[in-house]
A and B are shown apart, each in its own frame.
Chain A
Amino acid sequence: DQQVKQNSPSLSVQEGRISILNCDYTNSMFDYFLWYKKYPAEGPTFLISISSIKDKNEDGRFTVFLNKSAKHLSLHIVPSQPGDSAVYFCAARGVSGGATNKLIFGTGTLLAVQP
């Protein structure tokens, strides 16, 4: 059973417009959420995160929104740039007896920003 879901495998956006990437989760015990960006043949790069006690976090062009009642988070990129084209992974930190800190990842969304 997949605990973190990214239902859109791909998204295409025009340069300068807003990109909205969505993520749903099932485990209400997750306490921290992160977004990573990944280029082909490279490791994921940390973008932005949000604690479960907050509903919004902003960093430059990137804003993450968390709706705990809906178990939904989204990443907004404004304005989108061609260099933002990559696979975006949503991840949630699992709490398991306090010992492990593992991240549960979604399957990713491929964002293509068209010039």
Chain B
Amino acid sequence: EAEVAQSPRYKITEKSQAVAFWCDPISGHATLYWYRQILGQGPELLVQFQDESVVDDSQLPKDRFSAERLKGVDSTLKIQPAELGDSAMYLCASSSGQKGKTQYFGPGTRLLVL
């Protein structure tokens, strides 16, 4: 069964450092999402891509976060500089087409900022 791949699974960093997360969606899925889940809350969308284009980044803190999907396949989410409040689970999901109703999630990257 096809799955969304993410790496690393865990990341510990010090505040003010740069971190990057990688995601490879299910093959053929044109739509890719990055969510952030803080402990005790549900996931919240950070950015949505349709192929290589951003269609929604309204909740992305653009002063420190950036995301790209250059060839419309895999994607990278970067934080620079990391802050203590960025500690969370970062989840990548994909769906087939912009109107794909079901999003399939990867295992996530657990980030701890010290």
B55, A99: Cβ atoms closer than 8 Å = yes
Supplied contacts A46-B102, A107-B42, 13 more A-B pairs, CB within 8 Å: A32-B101, A41-B108, A43-B4, A43-B6, A43-B91, A44-B91, A46-B103, A91-B42, A99-B98, A100-B56, A102-B45, A103-B103, A105-B44
Please give, as numbers and ranges, the residues of chain B lying within 8 Å of A46 by CB-CB distance: 102-105
Please give, as numbers and ranges, the residues of chain B lying within 8 Å of A108 by CB-CB distance: 41-42
Counted as pairs of residues, one from A and one from B, with CB atoms less than 8 Å apart, the total is: 64
B110, A102: Cβ atoms closer than 8 Å = no
B85: interface (CB < 8 Å):
no
**What are some 15 contacts across the A-B interface (CB < 8 A)?**
A34-B103, A41-B108, A43-B4, A43-B91, A43-B105, A44-B91, A44-B105, A45-B105, A49-B101, A96-B56, A101-B99, A102-B45, A103-B43, A107-B42, A108-B41
Please give, as numbers and ranges, the residues of chain B lying within 8 Å of A100 by CB-CB distance: 48, 55-56
- B residues with CB within 8 A of A: 4, 6, 31, 33, 40-45, 48, 55-56, 91, 93, 95, 98-108, 110
B41, A102: Cβ atoms closer than 8 Å = no
A103, B45: Cβ atoms closer than 8 Å = yes
Contacting B at CB under 8 A, from A63-115, are 89, 91, 93, 96, 99-103, 105-108
- Interface residue SS majority, chain A: strand
- A residues with CB within 8 A of B: 4, 32, 34, 36, 41-46, 49, 89, 91, 93, 96, 99-103, 105-108
Chain B proximity of A13: nearest CB distance (Å): 22
Chain A proximity of B8: nearest CB distance (Å): 13
Chain B proximity of A75: nearest CB distance (Å): 15
Residue in B6, B56, B102, B110 whose CB lies within 8 Å of A34: B102
